[in-house]
């Protein structure tokens, strides 16, 4: 449990970067706001049409008693919205990291610089960030599908799907957000994930805390700069360096 809370604490320390580098952190809000606005419109449109989509997906229930038809279609609607929410959150992170590459690079460098010594010099690169973001998106879609399928389970499905989606999405968020600092140290994707697995409770703590913040309305916008700073500190601990900050 101590390692789990250590991961949560690293995210909280990321928020402390607002006091140390307010200009860099404020710039980190810009890409998050733009992407969030686009995604919010998409979710509103889906929410408006989800009853019709649920009805279209369940034509076989048309002849059922009205109560059970309603229960099924509410469950389908909840599963669709839950899955769309997970896809939106994971897609938001992936797209925001691509759009905001120069802004988050400044935050990462400020955290590394505060620890003293040289900033790791292996170039992360735009196309590598795109590749990592697409990997994040693909895994996020698979998680969303699993969460949506769990949502079909009567009574407990929605809760079970939400918990599963939150836990699994937290892991891949931690993976993606630490990728810059670890790649800059010359660590391959395979080696990166081995490091994450060796510190599972710490990674879970950071990732789940970040994901829970993302679930709050506009939380993803407010938390992205802090999550970038916190993930850099997490990456430093994974390779045995001081977290700084």
The pLDDT tens digits of the residues spanning 119-134 come to 776 665 666 667 777 7
Q: What is the pLDDT of residue 206?
A: 96
* Greatest extent of the chain over all pairs of C-alpha atoms, in Å: 71
Which bin fits 117, alpha (ψ -120 to 50), beta or left (φ > 0)?
left
Cβ burial, residue 59 (10 Å; 0-12/13-18/19+)? exposed
pLDDT at 154 over 80: no
Q: What is the pLDDT of residue 53?
A: 82
pLDDT at 243 over 70: no
Q: What is the pLDDT of residue 134?
A: 75
More confident residue, 5 or 61: 5
* Token pair listed for 79: 């599963």
Task: Give the model confidence (pLDDT) of 166-215 as tens digits.
Answer: 888 889 889 888 988 888 888 888 888 899 999 999 999 999 999 899 88
Closest Cα partner for 220 from 107, 108, 25, 90? 90
The answer to whether 224 and 32 are in contact (CB under 8 A) is yes
Q: What is the pLDDT of residue 120?
A: 72
User: Is the entire prediction scored with pTM above 0.75?
Assistant: yes
């Amino acid at each position: 449990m101590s390692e789990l809370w250590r991961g949560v604490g690293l995210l909280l320390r990321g928020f402390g970067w607002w006091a140390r580098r307010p200009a860099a952190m404020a710039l980190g809000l810009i890409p998050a706001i733009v992407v969030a606005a686009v995604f919010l419109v998409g979710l509103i449109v889906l929410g408006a049409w989800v009853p019709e989509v649920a009805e279209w997906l369940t034509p076989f229930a048309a002849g059922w008693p009205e109560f059970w038809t309603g229960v099924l279609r509410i469950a389908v609607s909840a599963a669709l919205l839950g899955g769309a929410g997970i896809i939106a959150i994971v897609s938001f992170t992936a797209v925001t990291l691509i759009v905001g590459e120069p802004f988050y690079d400044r935050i990462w460098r400020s955290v590394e610089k505060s620890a003293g010594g040289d900033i790791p010099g292996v170039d992360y690169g735009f196309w590598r960030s795109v590749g990592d973001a697409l990997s994040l998106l693909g895994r996020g879609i698979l998680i969303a599908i699993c969460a949506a399928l769990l949502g079909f389970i009567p009574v407990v499905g929605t809760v079970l799907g939400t918990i599963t989606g939150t836990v699994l999405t937290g892991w891949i968020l931690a993976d993606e957000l630490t990728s810059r600092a670890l790649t800059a140290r010359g660590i391959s994707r395979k080696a990166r994930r081995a490091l994450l697995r060796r510190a599972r409770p710490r990674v879970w703590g950071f990732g789940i805390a970040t994901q829970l913040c993302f679930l709050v309305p506009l939380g993803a916008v407010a938390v992205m700069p802090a999550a970038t700073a916190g993930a850099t500190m997490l990456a430093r601990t994974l390779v045995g360096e001081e977290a700084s900050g």
